[in-house]
């Protein structure tokens, strides 16, 4: 054959000749959903990514390909109370749930997705009346386990939820710079472990404690401050999402 067509454009440096044949290898490894979008995947859904950059550690994630130009990787998603979020340090470290519906992506994976990259965070809360409120932070990352998955957030922040994680109006509620806390690992600044209180049972970057918390027991359980004051105890939530995307 004098002509052939590959599925993707290949550089001649990626090809080799042998006995009249031209060989090429496909070394494309999607690290995140933005890589998949760049490779032509345009539909939101569950995909495999390789955050560690090798084919040996695939991770199933939900990719949002429509919000804010798409390419977002979901690190948290909730649509009902079928998956319990009151979990241990190890469970939050490794991740749990199902990316199709309810999931925590895993703190190790979140660190891998955001380390040494300029990444943004998009948070959304959808209410039972169909209203979706959101807040997007320009800069987001978390440290590794040795540094207790410390949260780093920076603005500008824009959206309809209101910025409540960096400058919430109270130094005791500021989350940027906080360590991650679970029911069995108390790293917050409150006298009692915030992750064990009735209205805040679940892992989070608590201070003492927080005005924003998306991992609480699901409705009809008491969810005191999902995102105060925009979303309060009287607001019925039908979906939450936390999305990250490198810039």
Q: What is the pLDDT of residues 20-51, one digit of tens each?
A: 776 665 567 899 999 999 999 999 999 999 99
Bin 202: left if φ > 0, else alpha if -120 < ψ < 50, else beta: left
Indicate the pTM of the whole model. Answer: 0.88
Cα dihedral across residues 43, 39, 155, 147: positive or negative: positive
What does the pLDDT read at residue 144?
A: 98
Residue 229 has pLDDT above 80, yes or no: yes
pLDDT digits (tens, 9 = 90+) for 57-92: 899 999 999 999 999 999 999 999 999 999 999 999
Q: For 96-102, what is the mean pLDDT?
A: 97
- Please classify residue 20 by burial: count the beta carbons closer than 10 Å to its beta carbon, then call 0-12 exposed, 13-18 middle and 19+ buried: exposed
What does the pLDDT read at residue 14?
A: 52
Report d(CA 206, CA 231) in Å as an integer: 18
Report d(CA 91, CA 175) in Å as an integer: 21
Residue 177 has pLDDT above 60, yes or no: yes
Q: pLDDT averaged over the chain?
A: 90
CATH architecture of 30-246: Alpha-Beta Complex (3.90)
- Please classify residue 36 by burial: count the beta carbons closer than 10 Å to its beta carbon, then call 0-12 exposed, 13-18 middle and 19+ buried: buried
Residue 8 has pLDDT above 90, yes or no: no
Helix (H), strand (E) at residue 37: helix 33-38
pLDDT digits (tens, 9 = 90+) for 197-223: 987 899 999 999 999 999 999 987 778
Give phi and psi for 113, each to the nearest 5: -70, -25
Per-domain residue ranges for the chain? 30-246
The residue with greater pLDDT, 233 or 236, is: 236
Q: For 222-235, what is the mean pLDDT?
A: 85
What does the pLDDT read at residue 26?
A: 59
> pLDDT category, 1, cuts 50, 70, 90?
very low
Report d(CA 13, CA 35) in Å as an integer: 21
Question: Residue 241: which of 40, 30, 44 has the closest Cα?
Answer: 44
* 93 to 58, 76, 191, 195, 215: CA distances (angstroms): 16, 13, 24, 15, 15
Bin 40: left if φ > 0, else alpha if -120 < ψ < 50, else beta: left
What does the pLDDT read at residue 56?
A: 80
């Amino acid at each position: 054959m004098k002509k052939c067509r590959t599925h993707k454009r290949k550089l001649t440096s990626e090809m080799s000749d042998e006995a009249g044949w031209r060989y090429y290898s496909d070394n494309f490894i999607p690290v995140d959903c933005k890589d998949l979008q760049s490779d032509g995947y345009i539909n939101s859904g569950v995909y495999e990514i390789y955050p560690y950059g090798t084919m040996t550690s695939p991770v199933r994630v939900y990719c949002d390909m429509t919000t804010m130009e798409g390419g977002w990787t979901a690190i948290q998603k909730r649509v009902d109370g079928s998956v319990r979020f009151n979990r241990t340090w190890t469970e939050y470290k490794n991740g749990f749930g199902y990316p199709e519906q309810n999931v925590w992506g895993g703190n190790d994976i979140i660190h891998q997705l955001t380390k040494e990259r300029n990444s943004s965070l998009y948070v959304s809360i959808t209410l039972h009346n169909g209203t979706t409120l959101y807040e997007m932070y320009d800069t987001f990352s978390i440290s590794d386990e040795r540094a207790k998955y410390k949260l780093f957030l920076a603005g500008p922040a824009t959206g309809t939820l209101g910025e409540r994680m960096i400058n919430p109006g109270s130094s005791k509620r500021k989350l940027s710079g906080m360590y991650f806390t679970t029911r069995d690992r108390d790293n917050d600044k409150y006298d009692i472990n915030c992750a064990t209180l009735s209205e805040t049972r679940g892992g989070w970057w608590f201070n003492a404690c927080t005005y924003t918390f998306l991992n609480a027991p699901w409705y009809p359980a008491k969810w005191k401050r999902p995102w105060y004051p925009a979303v309060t105890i009287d607001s019925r939530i039908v979906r939450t999402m936390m999305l990250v995307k490198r810039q």
